[in-house]
Structure 1
Amino acid sequence: MSEVALLLQKQVSKGSWVNDKKVALIVSGVVLAMMVAFLIVPILSILSRSFAVSDGFGLENYINTLGTSRIWELGLNSVVMASLAASIAVSLAYAYAYALQRTDLPFKGILRIVIMVPLFAPSLVQAQGLIFLLGRNGVFNRFLGFDIDIYGFWGVTLANSLYTFPYAFLILSAALAVSDARLYESAVVMGAKPFRIFRTVTLPSTRYGIFAAIFVAFSLSITDFGNAVVIGGNFNVLATEIYNKVIGQGQFGLGAVVGVMLLMPAVISKLLEKQISKRQHAQVTDQSTPLQIRPNRLRNLVFGSYAWTIAAIFLSVPLIVFVASIVKLWPYNMAFSLKHYAFDVQNGTAPLWNSVGVAFATAFLGVVVVASAAIVSAKFKTVLSGPISFLSILPASIPGMVLGLGYVLAFNNPSNPFNMLYGTFPLIVLLYIYYNHAQGFLISSTSLKQISSTFDEASTMLGGSTLRTLFKVTLPLIWPTLLGVGVFFFMRAMVSLSAVIFLITPQTQVAAVSVLQLSDRGAANQAAAFSVCIMLIVIAMLLVVRLVLWLAGAKNVTLIR
């Protein structure tokens, strides 16, 4: 803000600056207090419970857990599976992103939408689809005569590769979207062949995007719970061990130890990604020349064939799940039937409507929470801005199951003043908000930073307070982004499984958990029907919001990030 604007602000209303500062401190204090209550306390509860023993505190839980060969086997299973799944996802996603960003293929919009499908469904839908395709009673084994055993290590790895592919693609697509044509022209002048140009120019310029995609895919895979439970068979990982310790055996102390173990790889992965990102330099400057894609039939044929093959694979998973939901009894009676959509199971359609209600509440409150955190960090500069900014992105390093277990340990404690929330939908809403807080905060902060300070200065010169500027200028400018953040929260609340698995009661059942429970007891057709409903609700919400943005003229807002 310029000195003239500050002087005018003081002249118009000397007390307004004091009032603005007080308001900023109050709002910042509320934001920070909520972060402490619903983010820091649950994490500290896990750490505390992992050291809790019958006569106080000690290392007994760690000794009992780490002293067994099983836990080391599970840790190795998790790391190897996640590493391979990340490698597969990133390798395939890089070629797919290259096809969409560095070629002139037709129908790129369709190719982009198709591989976003895993984002619209619980992670375990990938495992469901693979079972219907490659399982013992799947299409390939039962109808085409193959003998494929998809259960176990390879099933979990492939399912997580499909699950993390869209996340890797979004990162790599952004890395490949910008480039300096001068580098490529220089390489051509020097006589470099296409593969050498790719190896010496394209790969180095996108290496940080590759590292970021690997870390994201690894973190998502090692902390995923749904795919491992549905298709893992006798192959277990740390995520399933937490579930078994807590739900199956009620051993919260040992479960907390495994939670700490699961937290470490995700945190280390995030720290490494941050360190590597710090070394990244701008690939495009004000002197750069945009890369122009030249027509090339052979290139388009190769990458077009690849892209449509990958798209067909991704489309086959939800399609086979849909088919399974509309036949009488897969795979024995393939006659058309909608009986599975009657949901004549325990609780009926209640979990689905519960999820919709929770998702709307999460979307509304999530926007308020993350927008408040972004505003006090970027606009209301106080002594609390730094801690709030740090805590806002902390959830990106916390696995869903770990945070969910922390909520159980923290809010099931009678001494916690928020104990009355335990076993209720509001606590589930708060869990969803803070589990996905980092992404929503980063999107909101990015939008705020794109608003020129000139607007604030103009408002100040006209005598407007900070709050008046916020409501009259800032929020009207970023409302499309906030609407996109709301859609993000809605979608995540509909599809998230691992974060909420420990908080569910018969009265607070949600659809994603119903899919898991139905799959677990062999009701594959009904589980498929629940999955289809979840996907249709998420897609319908996306389409409605797209229509709203289109009617409002805000056509360039990205809803899926």
Structure 2
Amino acid sequence: MTDQTVSMSSRLRQFRLSDKSFATAVSVGILVLMVIFLVIPAVSILLRSFVGDSGWGLENYTETLNSGRIRELVGNSLTVSAITAALAVSLAYVYAYSIQRTNVVFKSFLRIVVMTPLFAPSLVQAQGLIFLFGRNGAFNRFFGFDFDLYGFWGIVLANTLYTFPYAFLILSAALAAADARLYEGAVVMGAKPMRIFQAITLPSTRYGIAAACFVSFSLSITDFGNAIVIGGDFNVLATEIYNKVIGQGKFGLGAVIGVLLLAPAVISKLLERRIARGQHALITDGSKPLVIGINRSRDLAYGIYAYVVAGMFLAVPLIVLLASFVRLWPYNLSFTLKHYSFDVQNGAQPLWNSIVVALATALFGVVLVTIAAIVVQKFRTPLRGPISFLAILPTSIPGMVLGLGYVLAFNNPANPLNMLYGTFPLIVLLYIYYNHAQGFLITTTSLKQISSTFDEASTMLGGSQLRTLFKVTLPILWPTLVGVAVFFFMRAMVSLSAVIFLITPQTQVAAVSVLQLSDRGANNQAAAFSVCIMLIVLAMLLLARSVLWLAGAKNITLIR
């Protein structure tokens, strides 16, 4: 063996040793952050639920579970969420079918319209419904109707609008995959359209339906904004946590309700995963793409349905926009810009706070989920399993529960990180880890599409893992990371329930301002704040899309 060969082997061993140390250090660092900002807050909720006035024990559980009110609240939450899921999934299925399986015109427009709830805080749906159907809403005031919106059905309708986009995205993906051979065979055998739907289409999308049901149910049972704005005297578990913690300062009882709220979310997630394991591939190498034939009566019927639904989704933000430009809804409809002067406590500062927090969340969120995804997909360390598990754990933790966990964990003088409490950095970290799972899954999916031959070639040429990441992996991955950054920005601008317990007068954000203004009856100013939030999110989406278009990455989806 020549000296040159020995020298090359020695350098490769050094690179491998350096790579191993680097991978271990990064893995430990990312795992420590997950434990501090995800596991400890979740555990703090559980531990605090066992601490009553007389010390450790089941006092809080006994007081809560023996209360007739809590049984009523559980029943209310389950009923509202079940009906919401049924409505959202049923309506979204037909809407997705209209776009994927018919020749309805302007499909891109129809897709964008039903995504509007994603651009605003969840309570904007309740806001819009109140302006339309409330006691002083447009239909009651100007058309002589007598709708009683507040209460059970108000929450159901608002949550249906809120969860519809998530159900639509899942069902649209499920309906997009189809093997034309099955449909051709059914037609040859003389099957009617309804029979084909029952025998082929519906069974092939059952996993998508199940996933959409579980997602809609989880989002509804953990939503706080719609319930508190439009619920009236009808209370659910999410509003009860707020009342116990903010209104009464009973953190122990709030923690118990948090555990109760966590249970259905976790169960629905486990059921979704169990059902998904049984899914099989619908498209194989012998499949033929389904071509949508011309059927004027079918296309007309589905087109009417799609545009009626789209009209409902347009009506909500448009009525909120209109209310922001009138002096006093609905008594004085003269045009004014006074509500955009934000002559309220803190003025427009919450909007600027939200923008700064959202930008920081986007920047640091992308960094953290990318590192976590690289650790799981590229590094071969014993910590891959725990990191992968913790990375998707937030999908099972409601925002209000995690936010309360942050209060209990970091508003504790014994915690060395107590200095973070009441600051913007802690809010940024909460937003990052609350939305961590979605960003991680998107990034991991893109990493899986990058062949390992790039890493192997780099290693053979003597490149370290760090050099390979910066020279090979990240340049390929960057368009996806732009999409993930936009996702984090959007969620930080519109999320309400996760941050409601962490807000102080100095750290006020726009979504909370909307809630507080609505709560004290300043609906026009609340509408102006909502409009500003939606415009900021849309501006960021357009900016990111422009960057991707100029860079030639035109096929990246920014809303997932």
Q: 182-191 vs 419-428, which deviates more?
A: 182-191
Q: Distance in 2 between the 1:521 and 1:309 partners?
A: 33
Residues 200-219 of structure 1 mapped to structure 2, 5 A cutoff: 200-219=199-218
Q: Distance in 1 between the 2:28 and 2:12 partners?
A: 25
Q: Distance in 1 between the 2:312 and 2:52 partners?
A: 50
Residues 220-239 of structure 1 mapped to structure 2, 5 A cutoff: 220-239=219-238
Residues 90-109 of structure 1 mapped to structure 2, 5 A cutoff: 90-109=89-108
Number of the residue aligned with 2:397 = 398
Number of the residue aligned with 2:360 = 361
Counterpart amino acid of 1:415?
A
Number of the residue aligned with 1:430 = 429
Residues 466-485 of structure 1 mapped to structure 2, 5 A cutoff: 466-485=465-484
Number of the residue aligned with 1:3 = none
Counterpart amino acid of 2:23?
A
Deviation at 1:8, TM superposition (A): 12
Q: Distance in 2 between the 1:486 and 1:405 partners?
A: 25
Number of the residue aligned with 1:170 = 169
Deviation at 1:56, TM superposition (A): 3.1
Structure 1 residues 285-307: Cα deviation after superposition (integer angstroms, max 9, x where no partner): 11111111111111110110000
Q: Distance in 1 between the 2:53 and 2:432 partners?
A: 34
Counterpart amino acid of 1:350?
Q
Q: Distance in 1 between the 2:27 and 2:8 partners?
A: 22
Counterpart amino acid of 2:158?
A
Deviation at 1:11, TM superposition (A): 6.0
Structure 1 residues 24-76: Cα deviation after superposition (integer angstroms, max 9, x where no partner): 00000000000000000001100000001234310000000000000000000
8 Å CA contact 2:15–2:462 kept in 1: the answer is: no
Structure 1 residues 138-178: Cα deviation after superposition (integer angstroms, max 9, x where no partner): 01000000000000000000000000000000000000011
Residues 258-337 of structure 1 mapped to structure 2, 5 A cutoff: 258-337=257-336
Number of the residue aligned with 2:156 = 157
8 Å CA contact 1:362–1:429 kept in 2: the answer is: yes
Matched, 1:185 2:184: yes
Matched, 1:523 2:522: yes
Number of the residue aligned with 1:4 = none
Distance 1:433-1:332 versus aligned 2 partners, 3 A rule? same
Number of the residue aligned with 1:33 = 32
Q: Distance in 1 between the 2:7 and 2:415 partners?
A: 48
Structure 1 residues 227-275: Cα deviation after superposition (integer angstroms, max 9, x where no partner): 0000000000000000000000000000000000000000000000000
Residues 486-525 of structure 1 mapped to structure 2, 5 A cutoff: 486-525=485-524
Distance 1:10-1:487 versus aligned 2 partners, 3 A rule? farther
Q: 458-467 vs 65-74, which deviates more?
A: 458-467
Which ranges of structure 1 fall in alignment gaps of 5 or more residues? 1-6
8 Å CA contact 1:181–1:292 kept in 2: the answer is: yes
Residues 531-550 of structure 1 mapped to structure 2, 5 A cutoff: 531-550=530-549
Q: Distance in 2 between the 1:452 and 1:287 partners?
A: 24
Number of the residue aligned with 2:3 = none
Distance 1:328-1:8 versus aligned 2 partners, 3 A rule? farther
Q: Distance in 1 between the 2:8 and 2:473 partners?
A: 18
Deviation at 1:9, TM superposition (A): 8.5
Q: Distance in 1 between the 2:235 and 2:7 partners?
A: 66
8 Å CA contact 1:50–1:256 kept in 2: the answer is: yes
Counterpart amino acid of 2:130?
I
Deviation at 1:106, TM superposition (A): 1.7
8 Å CA contact 1:8–1:461 kept in 2: the answer is: no
Counterpart amino acid of 1:501?
I
User: TM-score if structure 1 supplies the norm length?
Assistant: 0.98
Q: Distance in 1 between the 2:475 and 2:416 partners?
A: 37
Number of the residue aligned with 1:132 = 131
Number of the residue aligned with 2:86 = 87
Counterpart amino acid of 1:255?
G
Q: Distance in 2 between the 1:176 and 1:139 partners?
A: 37
Number of the residue aligned with 1:241 = 240
Counterpart amino acid of 1:419?
N
Counterpart amino acid of 1:248?
G
Distance 1:14-1:173 versus aligned 2 partners, 3 A rule? same
Number of the residue aligned with 1:59 = 58
Counterpart amino acid of 2:324?
S
Structure 1 residues 302-354: Cα deviation after superposition (integer angstroms, max 9, x where no partner): 11000000000000000000000000100000001110000000000000000
8 Å CA contact 1:215–1:270 kept in 2: the answer is: yes
Q: Distance in 2 between the 1:367 and 1:183 partners?
A: 42
1:13 is paired with a residue of what secondary structure?
A: helix
2:505 is paired with a residue of what secondary structure?
A: coil
8 Å CA contact 1:519–1:527 kept in 2: the answer is: yes
Structure 1 residues 405-449: Cα deviation after superposition (integer angstroms, max 9, x where no partner): 000000001111111000000000000000000000000000000
Q: Distance in 2 between the 1:30 and 1:150 partners?
A: 50
2:416 is paired with a residue of what secondary structure?
A: coil
Deviation at 1:104, TM superposition (A): 1.8
Q: Distance in 2 between the 1:10 and 1:496 partners?
A: 53
8 Å CA contact 1:354–1:509 kept in 2: the answer is: yes
Counterpart amino acid of 1:235?
F
Q: Distance in 1 between the 2:417 and 2:558 partners?
A: 33
Deviation at 1:13, TM superposition (A): 2.3
Residues 1-12 of structure 1 mapped to structure 2, 5 A cutoff: 10=9, 12=11
Taking only aligned residues, the RMSD between alpha carbons, in angstroms, comes to: 1.0
2:507 is paired with a residue of what secondary structure?
A: coil
8 Å CA contact 1:104–1:295 kept in 2: the answer is: yes
Deviation at 1:189, TM superposition (A): 1.0
Which ranges of structure 2 fall in alignment gaps of 5 or more residues? 1-5
